[in-house]
């Protein structure tokens, strides 16, 4: 028995977009959905009650960072992530693979796992597929991920072929190592930008019968059109009755296109990281709140936005906060950006329910000044 229950409620008549319901031990999620990233057990600048207010249904936490600090054993002894961070909704934990592999020269890959140096103090650590599962079981997320190797871009075919085969063998070991019945385990399809390797990876992982499937190794430097081509090619290869998750993609356009291809779940640091850097998302495109043009601008960030920030603060005030280095700038900017992303998901769900996703997609692009 799976720890989750996923149902496709409706499929759009003019695209592969799907409206779904994903039930977890900590609550139900309406899909398609965006997951705010809580790297170290916190979505930066937001408290859980505020995350609920902006429409968050599920959040993501990073296994690597929590393993390094404060340690998964500590989190486990303190009741797991839900109790530790005061979030009673669903949580997905990544495997730590992407973070480990992004360490570059600080890590060494072998059949057994990965030896790496901490980005904090240079201390040596080793994570195997079994270890990644053990860490995530201690953290206590509702959905956990297989340990995988994320190949760089560009990469030679032979390397990606070996890497994809290693990811499959690690996936087998992850499934064997899993002990908790109250957690769902997702497999991660790799294969770089090579369609035949993606097909092989998807077929092999589907044969292992995971609770859900993710596409990894995207948004790693490839052109946007190439990324869309891979998503469009891979999504139909995954079981229609299981949730489909594209890891780490993040512009609003990326999400709309992936939904169009039949993807259900997304995560990215973009809305929160960009907020802290003064980049805000709006219906017509992005704005840089640092610009002098907003020094006396009384208008909200987005005239079409209903969030707390747009209802109460002007662009001029937000620019002042940012240029003054005030903590409130990060809080308000993050609040707005997350509301924008989660509202976009809600509108997409409504459009699918009303059999109007194609029209919604056209209107979305029609309002973008940058398009």
List, for residues 36-45, the tens digit of each pLDDT value. 999 999 999 9
C-alpha 82/C-alpha 86 separation (Å) is 6
Map residue 209 onto helix, strand or coil: coil
The single residue listed with the structure tokens 């995207």 is: 218
Residue 167 lies in a domain: yes
- Domain co-membership, 200 together with 343: no
Domain final position from 229, 246, 268 = 268
Residue-range definition of the domain harbouring residue 335: 275-365
Examine the pLDDT at 341 and tell me if it is beyond 80: yes
Q: Which of 12, 94, 148, 264 is catalytic?
A: 94
Distance, C-alpha 115 to centroid of its chain: 25
pLDDT of residue 371: 35
pLDDT tens digit sequence for 250-265: 999 999 999 999 999 9
Q: Which of 230, 250, 268 is the last residue of a domain?
A: 268
pLDDT digits (tens, 9 = 90+) for 164-179: 999 999 999 999 999 9
CA dihedral 106, 40, 95, 184 (to 10 degrees): 180
Do 227 and 288 belong together in one domain? no
For residue 371, being part of any structural domain is answered with no
With cut-offs at 50, 70 and 90, classify the pLDDT of residue 244: very high
Tell me the pLDDT tens digit for each residue of 302-312: 999 999 999 99
In total, the chain counts a number of residues equal to 371
| 18 DSSP 8-state letter | E
How confident is residue 96, by pLDDT bands cut at 50, 70 and 90? confident
Four-point Cα dihedral 156, 159, 161, 167, nearest 10: -130
Within a domain: residue 139? yes
Token representation of residue 266? 């997304």
> Do both 250 and 308 map to the same domain?
no
- The domain tally of the chain equals 2
Rounded Cα distance, 315 and 192, in Å: 41
- Would you call 158 a catalytic residue per the annotation? no
Query: CB within 8 A of 159, min separation 6: which ones?
Result: 151
- 370 pLDDT more than 60: no
pTM over 0.95: yes
Do 295 and 253 have their domain in common? no
The C-alpha angle 290, 292, 293, rounded to 5 degrees, equals 110
Measured on CA atoms in the order 324, 327, 332, 335, is the torsion positive or negative?
positive
94 annotated active-site: yes
**300 and 193 share one domain:** no
Structure tokens at 114: 């990965």
In this structure, of 98-102, 104-108, 214-218, 351-355, the range with the lowest mean pLDDT score is 98-102
Active-site hit among 142, 211, 267, 302: 267
Residues 6 or more apart whose CB falls under 8 angstroms from that of 184 comprise 2, 3, 4, 24, 142, 143, 144, 211, 212
**Residue 102 confidence (pLDDT):** 81
Please report the DSSP string for 217-242 in residue order: S-SSS--HHHHHHHHHHHGGGS-TTS
pLDDT digits (tens, 9 = 90+) for 67-86: 999 999 999 999 999 999 99
Q: Does 281 share its domain with 258? A: no
CA distances from 41 to 44, 71, 123, 140 (A): 9, 11, 22, 12
250 and 283 together in one domain: no
| 305 and 165 in a common domain | no
Give residue-wise pLDDT tens across range 125-174: 999 999 999 999 999 999 999 999 999 999 999 999 999 999 999 999 99
Residues 257 and 335 occupy one common structural domain: no
Say yes or no: 264 and 283 in one domain.
Answer: no
Same domain as 222, residue 339:
no
Of residues 49, 33, 53, 54, the one with CA closest to residue 87: 49
* Average pLDDT in the chain: 96
φ/ψ (deg, to 5) at 3: -75, -10
Alpha-carbon gap, residue 249 to 89, rounded angstroms: 22
Mean pLDDT of 93-120: 88
- Per-residue pLDDT band at 106 (split at 50, 70, 90): confident
Percent of the chain with pLDDT over 90: 95
């Amino acid at each position: 028995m799976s720890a989750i229950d996923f149902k496709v409620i409706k499929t759009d008549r003019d695209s592969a977009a799907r409206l779904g319901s994903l039930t977890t031990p900590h609550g139900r999620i309406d899909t398609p959905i965006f997951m705010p990233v809580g790297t170290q057990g916190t979505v930066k600048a937001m408290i859980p009650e505020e995350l609920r207010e902006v429409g968050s249904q599920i959040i993501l936490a990073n296994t690597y960072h929590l393993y390094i600090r404060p340690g998964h054993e500590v989190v486990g002894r303190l009741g797991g992530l839900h109790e530790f961070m005061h979030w009673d909704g669903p949580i997905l934990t990544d495997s730590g693979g992407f973070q480990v592999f992004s360490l570059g020269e600080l890590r060494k890959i072998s059949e057994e796992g990965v030896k790496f140096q901490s980005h904090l103090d240079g201390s040596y650590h080793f994570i195997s597929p079994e270890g990644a599962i053990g860490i995530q079981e201690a953290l206590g997320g509702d959905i956990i991920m297989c340990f995988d190797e994320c190949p760089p871009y560009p990469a030679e075919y032979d390397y990606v072929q070996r890497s994809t085969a290693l990811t499959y063998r690690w996936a087998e070991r992850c499934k064997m190592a899993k002990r908790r019945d109250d957690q769902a385990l997702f497999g991660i399809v790799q294969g770089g930008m090579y369609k035949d390797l993606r097909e092989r990876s998807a077929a092999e992982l589907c044969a292992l019968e995971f609770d859900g499937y993710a596409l990894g190794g995207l948004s790693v430097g490839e052109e946007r059109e190439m990324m869309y081509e891979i998503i469009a090619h891979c999504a139909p290869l995954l079981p229609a009755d299981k949730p489909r998750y594209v890891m780490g993609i993040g512009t609003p356009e990326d999400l709309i296109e992936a939904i169009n291809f039949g993807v259900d779940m997304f995560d990215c640091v973009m809305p929160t990281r960009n907020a802290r850097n003064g980049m805000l998302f709006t219906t017509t495109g992005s704005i840089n709140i640092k610009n002098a043009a907003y020094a006396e601008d009384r208008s909200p960030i987005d005239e079409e936005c209903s969030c707390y920030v747009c209802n109460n603060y002007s662009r001029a005030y937000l620019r002042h906060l940012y240029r003054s280095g005030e903590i409130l700038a990060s809080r308000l900017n993050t609040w707005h950006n997350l509301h924008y992303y989660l509202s976009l998901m809600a509108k997409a769900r409504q459009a699918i329910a009303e059999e109007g996703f194609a029209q919604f997609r056209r209107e979305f692009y029609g309002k973008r000044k940058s398009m």
